Amino acid sequence: MARILAVGIGALDIINEVEGYPPEDAEVRAVGQRITCGGNATNTLTVLSLLGHQSCLAAVLANDFAGEQLRQGLVRHHIDLGACRIERQGRTPTSYICLNRLNGSRTIVHYRKLSEYRFSDFVGLDLSAYDWLHFEGRNVQDTRNMIDRARKEYPELPVSVEIEKSRPGIEVLFKGVDLLLIGQDYARSKGFTDPQHFLLAMADRVGDCNMVCAWGAGGARVQGRHGEMYLCPAYIPAEIVDTLGAGDTFNAGFIDARLQGRGLKAALEAANYLAGRKCAMVGYEGLALS
Ligand code: FRU
């Protein structure tokens, strides 16, 4: 068991399951509903916790009704909230999600009115308590400062950063980390149409870092810091029922495998398989069963 601190957001996910994505301006009945905790870092921690690790979240939590629901969900998933800041003003980030039962697609409308987790929240944390640090790529300058602090004071502590999509200045997070977990949305926003060419271009630019890019049904690739590259075709289950958080699950799988000392190829295969299995089940709980 390892202790992982993830800096990112906690959101309340209100998931309506529908039998087919509704046309605009239609009124349709949901065939199921779940309210659960979400947010990329939170989902990654949820999965890491199911895999037997001690998950700790560093996020801003609001003091409203949704915030209480969110807190209960996080505690249920055994996520430690000691590093979180509670904000009296502001609202719990909320995602309204349409989950299509026919193909597992998830359409997300996300609302947020809450401050970001800042460097000043992070500066007092005792980082010696953790075996791995994971950051959502957002709130760029503060996140950069957090990474710099970790690097300076605990150079041996592994640091991963998730780059899900393009945000202004996000490239400042590329340097001085061990692992970049990059989503295809980011690669596409830079004009790439496949992970191989994208990672080769990244390696030229970033250098000393392991980089992973998951491309949905197109499989996943890792580019190691010594130039090694591996491809893993997507693991596509017989029935896809819920793709919400599949990318976050992939990231958890990769981190878990590296914590277990696995090499890049084995970690890629493990993450890929875990994310595929997740798509075959509702939520994450079933991932705990091997
Ligand atoms: C899925 C997810 C949801 C969350 C939304 C935030 O990756 O993290 O759980 O509500 O994305 O953008």
Atom 7 in ligand 1: residue holding the nearest Cα: 245
**Tens-digit pLDDT profile for residues 224-253:** 999 999 999 999 999 999 999 999 999 999
Ligand 1 atom 2: residue of nearest CA: 39
In a domain, 197, yes or no: yes
Tell me how far the alpha carbon of residue 106 lies from the centroid of ligand 1, in angstroms.
Answer: 10
Question: Does the predicted TM-score (pTM) go above 0.95?
Answer: yes
Which tokens hold the place of 168?
A: 């202004």
CATH code for the domain of 218: 3.40.1190.20
Least confident of 75-79, 152-156, 227-231, 286-290: 286-290
Whether 71 is in a domain gets the answer: yes
Spatial distance between the Cα atoms of 143 and 136, rounded to a whole number of angstroms: 9
The number of domains in the chain is 1
Q: Is residue 199 part of a domain?
A: yes
17 assigned to some structural domain: no
For residues 91-114, give the mean pLDDT.
96
Instruction: Assess if residue 99 is contained within a domain.
Output: no
**Mean pLDDT taken over the chain:** 96
Residue 169 included in any domain: yes
Tokens in use for 277?
A: 């299995």
Determine, yes or no, domain membership for 93: no
Kindly state the average pLDDT of the residues 192-196. 95
- Nearest CA residue ID for atom 12, ligand 1: 39
On whether residue 33 sits in a domain, the answer given is: no
DSSP 136: E
Handedness of CA 216, 290, 249, 96 (dihedral sign): positive
List pocket residues of ligand 1, CB cut-off 6 Å: 11, 13, 38-40, 43, 95, 108, 110, 244-245, 247-248
Which pLDDT belongs to residue 217? 85
165: pLDDT strictly greater than 90: yes
**Structural domain that includes position 53:** 3-8+40-87+115-288
Distance 53 CA to ligand 1 centre (A): 21
Which pLDDT belongs to residue 290? 59
DSSP alpha helix (H) spans, 123-192 = 140-153, 184-189
Question: Does residue 238 contact residue 221 with C-beta atoms inside 8 Å?
Answer: no
Lowest mean pLDDT among 3-17, 203-217, 241-255: 203-217
Find the mean pLDDT for residues 99-105.
93
Residue type, 175: K
